[in-house]
Structure 1
Amino acid sequence: MSDSSLPLVSICMISYNHKKFIRQAIEGVLMQETNFEYELVISDDCSPDNTGLEIQKCIDEHPNGKRIKYFQHKVNLGGLPNILFAFNECSGKYIAICEGDDYWTDVHKLQKQVDFLEANEDYSMCCHNAKIVYEDKSQNTRDFSEIYTDVDFDMSRIINSWVIPTASMVIRAKFIKPLPEWVKNIYSIDFTLALLLMAKGKIKFLAESLSVYRIDLGGSSMSAVIGGKIEFVANQHIQLLQHFNEETGQLYNGLVTKKIEKLQNEIKFLKLRRKSPLLALFLMPRLFCEKILNKISK
């Protein structure tokens, strides 16, 4: 197949136990109005809830079903291997991401982002704001990010705060293919991608909300599986930052070191609080007060 016959954009969609949500995710992709060709790569990780049957129905019933490349694994790979498998099947110049429990809300989302990247070769990614929706209605819908103007991100923002909804990412594929070998040992692929892409070029953030980030605390989404495991997440981020520091020849060593120290303090605080809240207050009063204030503000 020649390069001219390849789709300009590949949309990477992974799914696991997303039967309730997968149709909305697929339709959000297939409704896109573009002046270029795109493909939707779906990799279902042996879902036991018949997600696969729902995907097949979408392929058979939707007028744009022919755009879908569907892989249904017979053995569960696990979250990260499934993502890496799907990435490898993406053939486009750009890779967009939409996990099976999120969805796009604007028919021109892809066109807007691709137009920007095509006109600005020095950018490695274009992303945008999103709405956070709680499936159990326990909290009101809110903005993912409180950034309300189009901006360029810098490495400090990428390292120190998470402001990129995964379903908003449109990536210049040449910067992540192939991914470093160490990525296979890090669960946080979205943070990993943001770091690597920021080191390769600029990142544009569009303030417009063009997708929904769904939180299903009672389900099998990453928000449910990882949500209460703060120490695990912190340790994973430390490992990621150490790998990234080595990958970039310690170009961002100052920022990375400060962030690792902050994460280590977070782990220390959590261990103290489990042992005794009073001990945590006595030994780490500033962090203790910050936690209380953050809880009140929510």
Structure 2
Amino acid sequence: MDIGMANERVNGNQSKPMVSVIVSTYQHAPYIKECLDSILSQKAAFPFEIVLGEDESTDGTREICIEYANKYPDTIRLFLRSRKDVVYINGYATGRFNFMENLKAARGEYIAICPGDDYWTDSNKLEIQLAAMKSHPECDMSFHPAIERYTKGNKRDKIIKRRSKGSKIFTAGEVILGGGFCPTAAIVMKREVLEPLPEWFHTKAPIGDIYIEILGALSGGLLYIDRVMAVRRANVPGSWGSNRKGESSHEYLRRVELHEECYQMIDRSTGGRYSKEISKKLASYNLISAKKFLKDRKYGEFRRVIEKSWKLSPYYSFKQAAFYFFRKLELPSMGL
């Protein structure tokens, strides 16, 4: 039996929900209560469930999840995962197994996502997004802007991913170029978007959210709703971004190479319809990689990667062009 399913604390209400809210959590003890409370406060005219996957935290998150599952057995389905099942990508532990198993367990016609360190701020969020999607049946996914809130330091809150004044449908090409197009806690999608997810998503995708957004936009575009309805916490200890702050230039290049493999799979599956946008996106990743090598004074790697960026999409940006045309200037070898 699947480990995730084997450890489910079965709820009492087996009626089929309209929406399954996927909450994947690990080491989120200071945040998970606010996350769950914000979902439980939804004023929805339809049934919804919370599929809560706890990834064997050691900071008290698991105990909080068990407490909530016992308190709200008709809404929360808790799955207790094991760290031995964690999927590593590019040498880093990910929450991919937890997310995938949560997705398998979801029973709703629609899937919403709220990471355990984020939360929703509008009790009508699910109602608003489902109503908008039913008005635009061609769209498989919707999203909205969010507040970015730092857990450390003096940075002020700011609104992120405000893509338009008023509602708008973004094409898959625009989503590919955007990369990280919407806050994860803002996503609501039809379950068919993720059925099934391609194998490369399980084992290669460095950032799962980016590819979920692209897959959600391929059919009829991504529906944007111009209303702030969630908070994205930034700088959370142990989060994806925090764990990669010390990432070396070579580690980042390996991440770019994984992105290239994933985008190539998308390019093939779509018959080359988005080849131009994919080339531009990969050019931008390689430009970032080139800057990292230049900063580290690894000039041979810098030249190789900036030439690759140029080959993918010349004149992608002024900085790319400047780096490319001045790449052969005499630079101190620094022993590299």
Instruction: Note the alpha carbon deviations across 1:141-181, whole angstroms, 9 max, x for none.
Output: 11112434222112232112233000000011112111112
In the alignment, is residue 173 of structure 1 matched against residue 191 of structure 2?
yes
Q: Would the alpha carbon gap of residues 226 and 91 (structure 1) be closer, same or farther in structure 2, given more than 3 Å must change?
A: farther
Equivalent residue for 1:286?
A: 319
Instruction: Note the alpha carbon deviations across 1:53-100, whole angstroms, 9 max, x for none.
Output: 011222334xx4520000111334321111111111111100000010
Aligned-pair identity (%): 23
Gaps of 5+ in 1: 291-298
Gaps of 5+ in 2: 1-13, 87-94, 307-317, 324-336
1:165 maps to amino acid: P
1:81 maps to amino acid: F
> For 1:43, which of 27, 50, 53 is the aligned residue?
53
Distance of 2:271 and 2:182 partners within structure 1 = 25
Structure 2 SS opposite 1:13: strand
Structure 2 SS opposite 1:19: coil
Moved more, 251-260 or 122-131: 251-260
In the alignment, is residue 28 of structure 1 matched against residue 38 of structure 2?
yes
In the alignment, is residue 204 of structure 1 matched against residue 223 of structure 2?
yes
In our comparison, the structure showing a higher alpha carbon Rg is 2
Q: Would the alpha carbon gap of residues 269 and 137 (structure 1) be closer, same or farther in structure 2, given more than 3 Å must change?
A: closer
- Structure 1 residue 289 displacement after superposition: 8.5
Instruction: Note the alpha carbon deviations across 1:200-251, whole angstroms, 9 max, x for none.
Output: 222111121100000134x112221234535454333323212211222222
2:222 maps to amino acid: I
Report how many residues are paired: 282
1:105-254 matched pairs, under 5 angstroms:
105-149=121-165, 150-161=167-178, 162-185=180-203, 186-217=205-236, 219-229=237-247, 230-231=252-253, 233-254=255-276
Equivalent residue for 1:84?
A: 100
Q: Would the alpha carbon gap of residues 239 and 58 (structure 1) be closer, same or farther in structure 2, given more than 3 Å must change?
A: same
Q: Would the alpha carbon gap of residues 47 and 112 (structure 1) be closer, same or farther in structure 2, given more than 3 Å must change?
A: same
Structure 2 SS opposite 1:95: strand
- Structure 1 residue 262 displacement after superposition: 2.5
Distance of 1:17 and 1:108 partners within structure 2 = 28
Equivalent residue for 2:10?
A: none
Asked if 2 retains the 8 angstrom alpha-carbon contact of 1:80 and 1:187, the reply is no
Q: Would the alpha carbon gap of residues 145 and 46 (structure 1) be closer, same or farther in structure 2, given more than 3 Å must change?
A: same
In the alignment, is residue 16 of structure 1 matched against residue 34 of structure 2?
no
Q: Would the alpha carbon gap of residues 153 and 178 (structure 1) be closer, same or farther in structure 2, given more than 3 Å must change?
A: same
Q: Would the alpha carbon gap of residues 228 and 66 (structure 1) be closer, same or farther in structure 2, given more than 3 Å must change?
A: farther
Structure 1 SS opposite 2:226: strand
Equivalent residue for 1:66?
A: 74
1:75 maps to amino acid: R
Structure 2 SS opposite 1:209: coil
Q: Would the alpha carbon gap of residues 272 and 56 (structure 1) be closer, same or farther in structure 2, given more than 3 Å must change?
A: same
Q: Would the alpha carbon gap of residues 147 and 75 (structure 1) be closer, same or farther in structure 2, given more than 3 Å must change?
A: closer
- Structure 1 residue 287 displacement after superposition: 4.7
Q: CA RMSD in A?
A: 2.5
Distance of 1:203 and 1:132 partners within structure 2 = 21
Give TM-score, length-normalised by structure 1: 0.86
> For 2:113, which of 94, 97, 103 is the aligned residue?
97
Instruction: Note the alpha carbon deviations across 1:236-269, whole angstroms, 9 max, x for none.
Output: 3323212211222222111112221222232223
Distance of 2:117 and 2:172 partners within structure 1 = 28
Equivalent residue for 1:294?
A: none
Equivalent residue for 2:9?
A: none
Asked if 1 retains the 8 angstrom alpha-carbon contact of 2:143 and 2:225, the reply is yes
Give TM-score, length-normalised by structure 2: 0.77
1:254 maps to amino acid: K
Structure 2 SS opposite 1:208: coil
Equivalent residue for 1:262?
A: 284
Distance of 1:165 and 1:221 partners within structure 2 = 15
Asked if 2 retains the 8 angstrom alpha-carbon contact of 1:160 and 1:259, the reply is yes
Asked if 2 retains the 8 angstrom alpha-carbon contact of 1:226 and 1:233, the reply is no
